[in-house]
Amino acid sequence: MRRKKQVGQAAFTTLNVVFLVLIAATMIIPLWNAVAESFSGSFASMRPGILMWPRDFSLSGYTTIWTVLDLWQPFENSVIVSVLGTLLHVLLSALAGYALAQSGMPGRRFVTGLILITMMIPFEAIMIPFYITMQQLGLLNSLAALILSGMVSGFSVLLMRNFFLSIPGDILESAKIDGAGHFRMFWQICMPLSKAGLATVGLFEFVGRWNNLLTTILLINDSTKNTLQVALNALISGGSSTSSGYLITTNVKMAGIIIAILPLIIAYPFAQKYFVRGIFLGANKE
């Protein structure tokens, strides 16, 4: 009986490992193929098949997309929008979360309920009033529109609220006795003790802004203000040549994809040590 149990556990573990390996392969192989094709020669990259190593190693894909196709402009726009937008989002979400974490705030349960309701409304349902609001503010065709849109989200506010609620009350009471006000407690006590929450909110927001396509298409008509995702979408779906007749080969398209995901790959390891702890603590605090 014991032997059968051990055999069953071994079979179950083996199936789990095989299943996880297959899932990992569906993500790793396409990425590896994109890297290999981006470093291949122009015409070699257009041959059919999945590449594990570059054919006719060349950096022409990166030089072409960066200089000839001017990808640096949408890349710069994406950096500005993502960095400034994320900093504003984290700051405002932390301020709102701190306010909701105060037991003496009148109507905080009602406000929390309203925030929960906003999380149930998809962006597609408010696209028209959102566009009209931006138009009336005179923000269309500007990076400011992309930075200001989505400055605060219900998810981020409630996550930061849960983090601030997890801070021991004795620490805050001691600070109040020493004469510290809310502003000082927020900056010198709550913010340093909530690094995991700040990293979690910041990582989610940065990834969302960096990959955002819909908002840019909705608000921006000027090609010089396009972000990286819009430029890549036009590059990949626009055919095999530009309006000037320049041939866009597969290595050029793959180079654009690698450039787009590289900042996320670089940023994630720095926030990863806070990320898992931030999600767990922020989701389990009542």
Reported as a single tens digit per residue, the pLDDT across 155-182 is 899 889 988 888 887 888 888 887 888 8
Average pLDDT of the chain to the nearest whole number: 84
Whole-number percent of the chain with pLDDT over 90: 25
Residue extents of the structural domains in the chain: 2-60, 62-284
Is residue 100 helix, strand or coil?
helix
Contact residues for 140 (Cβ-Cβ < 8 A; gap 6+): 134, 219, 220, 221
Please state the CATH superfamily assignment of the domain spanning residues 62-284 in this structure.
MetI-like (1.10.3720.10)
Predicted local distance difference test score (pLDDT) of residue 132 = 93
For residues 180-185, give the mean pLDDT.
84
Residue 281 amino acid letter: L
Rg for the chain (alpha carbons), in Å?
Answer: 24
CA–CA distance, 56 with 40 (Å, rounded to integer): 5
pLDDT surpasses 90 at 203: no
Predicted local distance difference test score (pLDDT) of residue 241 = 54
Question: Under a CB-based contact definition with an 8 Å cutoff, are residues 57 and 40 in contact?
Answer: yes
pTM value?
A: 0.83
For residues 8-37, give the mean pLDDT.
89
